[in-house]
Structure formats: structure tokens, C-alpha cells
Amino acid sequence: MRKFNSDFMIGAATAAHQVEGNNVNSDFWTMEHVPDSMYKEPSLDAVDHYNKFKNDIQLLVDAGLNTYRFSIEWSRVEPTKGNFDKNEINHYRKVLDFCHENHVTPIVTLHHFSSPKWLISEGGWESESTIEFFGNYCRYVVSELGDLIPYICTINEANMGKQIAKIMKRMTGVKENNASTDTENNVEVQVGLNVDMRAKMEKYYRALGEAFGMDPRNIQTFLSPRTENGERIVMECHKKARNVIKEVAPSIKVGITLSLYDHQALPGGEQFVEKEQHEDFLNYLPYLEGDDFLGVQNYSRKIHGPEGVVKPSKNTRLTKMGYEFYPEALGNVLRFVSKHWDKPMIVTENGISTDYDEERVEFIEIALTGVHQCLEEGINVIGYTYWSLLDNFEWQLGYAQTFGLIAVDRSTQTRYPKESLSFLGEIKKSGV
């Protein structure tokens, strides 16, 4: 592989709820613990990154990496509406300080799927009031920590609600793009969202209604299928956050992250590719005009034929998550985005769940070869953070999925760095 310039950021990413443990005030904690939960298991202590962050970041540093993307947990910082916890903001200050002490560039995400439980009870991500609530939270975080944060991703995968809405249409038999509703080997979701909910749905939502104190039909978490108005609210939250950040700490580079597939067309499938590219990306561009960078997140591709999405054949190489092993997708997505976006891009997520670390090494090598080719073509990519630093809690799928560069024995919380961590570090250390 060709060498990356020394100023190119290479590292790994995590999300607070997936690694910290005991996020007891979040909506996910509630959803994990209600009777008949759709979650395979609760997050509980997760991998105790809340207490072990120095150890984990040190492993990243020792491998030769220089960038760490992580999220601040809103439900910790504002556990009840309007009440901010000084101890929790000081915790994240310690994380940022440790990054800087070790010459690690922190990329902070302000919202990564999980929300305060109280926000959902107030109407969640279909409520106009969420725009102001999110702005208030962002103002507090940036006022307290802004001098330590060079990059902020306001919202992780802001387009995920629309993608889930399309999946749910397929699951309920409503065809999208005339595609098959067969859910075997479903590759519609890139990471961590098992949407085969039908068996326990009724009991689950009844329990959620009791837990949130509201009609279960009105529960709108960030990952609920979203209406067009909900789409607007999410993007208005992004704009509100960007405005607040630029007012309080104008030196911070602000962006958002989007989940983007490599859409490919077989003959007759071109119209479906154009439709999906518009819905996944182009539709959001008007909201991003004031952004400084874009976070690109990619795990695989979708192939579209005359009838819509083509199901992988039984001979297709699949990851542990059940979607196609296709690391070449990342370079293709960066090229597509660059046709419509001339500001910097950071690959904020890209990775593979596998039980075989040599397969992870292969994935990283091919994916980063694609990134380097994009750089040679003049595409403005400034960093890459692999998903994920640690094997962690993959939402509804629990702990069985293994994306991490570091394995964790959760019975002892012992860390076991994998060869892939060293491999990624060597790529960084070989930079010119």
C-alpha cells in the first residue's frame, strides 16, 4: 500500500452507549430492559469504557494511531430536562485531555443514536421542541469543552431513520422499488439494527408505552421509522447545533455523518440507483451548505436490477452481519460524494464484523487502498476512523457481533488487542 501523508488522520471510533456501560438515563437502556424487549441482551456494563478510557486510548496510541472518534452521551450530561451534570461533563473533559496529552486528535459526536429518556417522553424525534432541546445541550457541551474539540459531528447517520422506514416497508410487505420482501440474508442495514420485530412487537410496544409514560404509537426514538417532518426536524437539529457551535467556538470544524451504500446498477437498475442516491445523500445537501466537512460511513454495497435490490447469491462472500464483504465500496462512495461535495471528507466509520481477524486485516487493506487511490485522484479526504476500536454492544444484536480492533473478555473486562490494530497502526506509522 502507498503511504499516507503524515497529516492524514487514522484511528478508530466508538459510540458512548455501545462501550461506556450503565447509561441508565438513556432511551436505549429503557428499551433494553422492558418486558419482552426486542434486544438480544441488555448493555449493562458494556465494555466499561467509561472507566477504562485511558487504557483503551493508550492501546490506540501504542499501535501508532493518532485519531479517536467518540460520542458524548446526552443522557449523562442532561439526565433530566434542563438539568446538566457537572460531574459528567468533567468526565468527557478528562477524555479530551487524555487525547491531547497523547497527541490524539479527538473527533466528537454529539448524538450517536441514543437520547435521554426524558426527550422521548417529550415527543422525541418527531417533535419541534427537540430542536431547541438539542441546541441547549450543544450549547452547554461546547461552552464547557469547546476549546478541546477540533472536530464535531453533530448527529451520527442522520439519514438512518429514512433507511429504517424503507426497511420496515419491506418487512410489512409494502414493496419499495418493487423489491422482494424476503428478509433472509437481509443486507439493508449496515450496522447493528435487527428489524425482524414482528413476533413480539405488540407486547414490546405496550411495555415501552408504560416505561415512557405515553401512547406507544407516539414513541419516536432516533431510530424509529421517520416521517418527512421527522426528517426535517433532525436536519433542523443539525443546523441549530452548527449555529450554536459557530457562535460559541467558531474554530471548531462542524459536520454530520451519513450512512452511504455503494449503489451499483445492473442493466435496468439505473433508476433505482438514482432514487436511492437522492434519498440517502443528495436530498440532504441543502442542509449541509454551512458545514466544514462530511463524515462518510460505509460498510458494503447494494446492487440494483430491473426489479430493485438484488439479493446476494448463496455464493456471495458475507460478513458476520450478513451483508456482502466488499471493502471496495468505500472508495466508490467517496468518488460519488466528491462529485457533489468539494469540502473535506472524513471516513468516520468503515469496518467489518468477523470472527477471523485476518479477514479484518484484508478488509482494512483493501478499503484504505481505495482511500489512497481517491487521494491520488485529488479527492479531499482528510481522515479515516475504523469502526470500531472495541468489540462492543451492537444495539439489538447485543455482544455477538465483533467489529473491534480490540477484543474484550466482558467477565473480567480484559482487553486483547488484535493483529488488525497493529496493522492499522503500521499504515499510519509508515506515513510520509
Give this prediction's pTM: 0.94
What pLDDT shows up at residue 174? 52
Backbone dihedral angles phi then psi of residue 179, each to the nearest 5 degrees: -80, 160
CA angle 290–148–406, rounded 5-degree value: 100
Q: How far apart are CA 148 and CA 141, in angstroms?
A: 11
Sorted by sequence, the CB contacts under 8 Å of residue 247 that are 6+ apart come out as none
Domains present along the chain, CATH in parentheses: 9-173+194-259+291-297+345-429 (3.20.20.80)
Query: Which is nearest to 52 in space by CA: 70, 34, 65, 66?
Result: 70
Q: How far apart are CA 360 and CA 253, in angstroms?
A: 31
Q: Are 387 and 350 in contact, with CB atoms under 8 Å apart? A: yes
What pLDDT shows up at residue 43? 98
Query: Which is nearest to 24 in space by CA: 114, 133, 147?
Result: 114
CA angle 69–247–105, rounded 5-degree value: 20
Sorted by sequence, the CB contacts under 8 Å of residue 316 that are 6+ apart come out as 324
What pLDDT shows up at residue 2? 78
pLDDT values of the chain reduced to their tens digit, one per residue, 432 residues: 779 999 999 999 999 999 999 999 999 999 999 999 999 999 999 999 999 999 999 999 999 999 999 999 999 999 999 999 999 999 999 999 999 999 999 999 999 999 999 999 999 999 999 999 999 999 999 999 999 999 999 999 999 987 887 776 665 555 444 333 333 334 444 555 444 546 567 889 999 999 999 999 999 999 999 999 999 999 999 999 999 999 999 999 999 999 999 999 999 999 999 999 999 999 999 999 999 999 999 999 999 999 999 999 999 999 999 999 999 999 999 999 999 999 999 999 999 999 999 999 999 999 999 999 999 999 999 999 999 999 999 999 999 999 999 999 999 999 999 999 999 999 999 975
